[in-house]
Chain A
Amino acid sequence: MTCLPERTTRKLGLVIDLDTCVGCQACVTNCKEWNTGGHMAPLTDTNPYGAEADGVWFNRVHSYEVTTPEGNSQSLHFPRSCLHCDDAACVTVCPTGASYKRTSDGIVLVDEDKCIGCKLCSWACPYGAREYDVFEGVMKKCTLCVDRIYNENLDQEDRVPACVLTCPTGARHYGDLSDPQSDVSRLVRKRDGRDLMPEMGYRPTNKYLPQREKSGEGSTSPRNGRALAPLEDTSGASGLLGWVDRMLERMD
């Protein structure tokens, strides 16, 4: 049934630290690697080695320049994948029952055998998390590596989503966001974790930890030019250069 569960027993999801992510694309690669042989396999590609490589990817990393109202700017690497929303409209719009949200852990999945490929769910998702497979004629999406996290053939420490396992900077965290005492919930509280596009009202499970403020003393913002300030300090000049410096200062 595509009606959403009133509440889920757990809310498994990701917490992504935008302050730590360096945009290395490792999570993207390992996601593709695992999932092209996993629950939603295969993740087909169009022209994979050509100039316009394209295909089904559950995780993509964007890069942005973010500028505060004060004019400080910094780069932001932003991984984007399914947020396993509480109010997942991608599920309720599905006419066939192929899309569903699990009551046990809140994971949003697609039953490929029921999907008719109408693509309405991809229109209903503000985050672009649904990926249509043109070769198989069905919609695919992030499974939160449902075939890893419960996989008893894997060692306990490997039972996490592939993207989390592979992140070299520890920017991706996985856990139960319904449990206020879980590590991920603590992290969200401590770092003011945020919903993406909260105005949409989808109540995403995944949270993003905002970048820490890097303005002020020692800021490297090109706007205020302080990055070069130590290199322009002439107070140590002596001898002929020191004299020229002092004389030129007096000119105006």
Chain B
Amino acid sequence: MHPAASVILFTTASGVGYGILALAPLLVAYGLLPDDNPWLGGALMLPALGLVTLGLLSSTFHLGHPERAWRALSQWKSSWLSREGVMAIISYPPALAYTYAWVILGAVDGPWVWAGFATVMTALGTLFTTGMIYRSLKPIPAWATDWTVTGYLTLGPLTGLVVIIAVATGFGLHPVRFQAVAIIFVLAAAIAKNAYWSRQHKAWDEHAQNNGAAVASPGNAVRSIEWPHTEANYVLKEMGYRVARKHAERLRRVARNLLLVAPAAIFCVLPSILPLPYLIWAIIPGALLTLAGVLVERWLFFAEAKHVVSLYYGAD
């Protein structure tokens, strides 16, 4: 699929934002993040809210009629895209309430803990609905798997976590306290992405092998000898993200190293080796590397996903 730049930006930015929203209240609840420092709360919650808002706005850039975007909230009964929009909006009140308690009241206790719980659930819910948009598209075999959803549910929190750790380290907290959490999320992301990557080509081949069924001639070999007179149709042009596809193997290596290997080394191992004053110089680049990795992963996610309509144009 042709990855519109705004869609890549949207899923990356909002992934980080919802990742922070999904994890910060949990880390506070388990005592890993202190809730008595309003500056720390502001430094985490405000960028998170900014990123999800940026993501939400940038998702309207690729629309033919952005001024009608509000209509997209109406069909939540059938459409995962609509459900995503609704979830994204529902997630604001608890996130704002939790931010209010942490930043203005200076403590998260009593009923505000429930706002935190609702923030976690709606953030995860938004990531889930985003994943379901792609998972439900059967004509794109690479996406039509639960690993797509798992990818969204693990990469969002992973990128949110590395930003949380970077910010917390900046506030003088020792990142070794997040080591266990980092190990869990790097492992989860590694499992989800490797499962996705190892399955995607097999999923495509299953359809491509039976391209006769696309022209009511199952079991026969079909070779395209002439395209329709106006050449590629709209969806085919969407497919043609050639640079990423040409270098898919290399890019996947880059994504794997930046997104999984780098955080494993920097967030899971380094904190128990390096002393705190030096750690900050590893943690911040580590967070940036992870974010760069997720950008490459997003690009590949769209560019590598082939649509079955390309079978009509002789794809194999």
A interface list, Cβ under 8 A from B: 1-4, 18, 25, 28, 52-55, 57, 60-69, 75-76, 78, 80, 89, 91-98, 114-120, 122-128, 130-133, 136-139, 194-201, 208-211
Contact = CB atoms under 8 A, between A and B. Distances in A.
A67 B212 CA distance: 10
B65 A116 contact: yes
B235 A115 contact: no
B230 A208 contact: no
A66 B217 contact: yes
Contacts of B212: 66
A196 B215 contact: yes
B233 A128 contact: yes
Contacts of A123: 1, 137, 139-140, 235, 238, 307
B253 to A, nearest CB: 27
Given A66-B215, A125-B139, A196-B215, A95 B75 contact: yes
B79 interface: yes
Given A60-B230, A96-B74, A116-B65, A78 B133 contact: no
Interface stretch (B14-22, B25-33, B87-95, B219-227): B219-227
A61 B228 contact: yes
B234 interface: yes
Given A116-B71, A123-B307, A64 B139 contact: no
Given A75-B225, A93-B81, A122 B216 contact: no
Interface in B25-81: 62-66, 68-69, 71-75, 77-81
A117 B63 CA distance: 5
Contact of B217 (A57, A119, A200, A211): A211
Contacts of A132: 64, 234
B230 A95 contact: no
Contact of A95 (B72, B227, B228): B72
B8 interface: no
A118 B214 contact: no
B308 A126 contact: yes
Interface residues of B, number: 59
A112 B218 CA distance: 36
Given A89-B138, A120-B133, A114 B75 contact: no
A55 B228 CA distance: 12
Contact of A2 (B1, B79, B136): B79
A163 to B, nearest CB: 14
Interface string B196-208: 0000000000010
Nearest to B309: A128
A98 B74 CA distance: 10
15 contacts: A4-B78, A18-B215, A52-B231, A54-B230, A62-B227, A66-B212, A76-B217, A93-B79, A116-B69, A116-B72, A118-B63, A119-B64, A122-B234, A131-B234, A195-B216
A116 B81 contact: no
Contacts of B229: 25, 28, 53, 60
Nearest to A98: B71
Residue among B138, B207, B212 facing the most chain A CB atoms (10 A cut-off) = B138
A118 B226 CA distance: 30
B139 A96 contact: no
B213 interface: yes
A1 B214 CA distance: 30
B63 A116 contact: yes
A63 B229 CA distance: 11
A51 B71 CA distance: 39
A122 B137 CA distance: 10
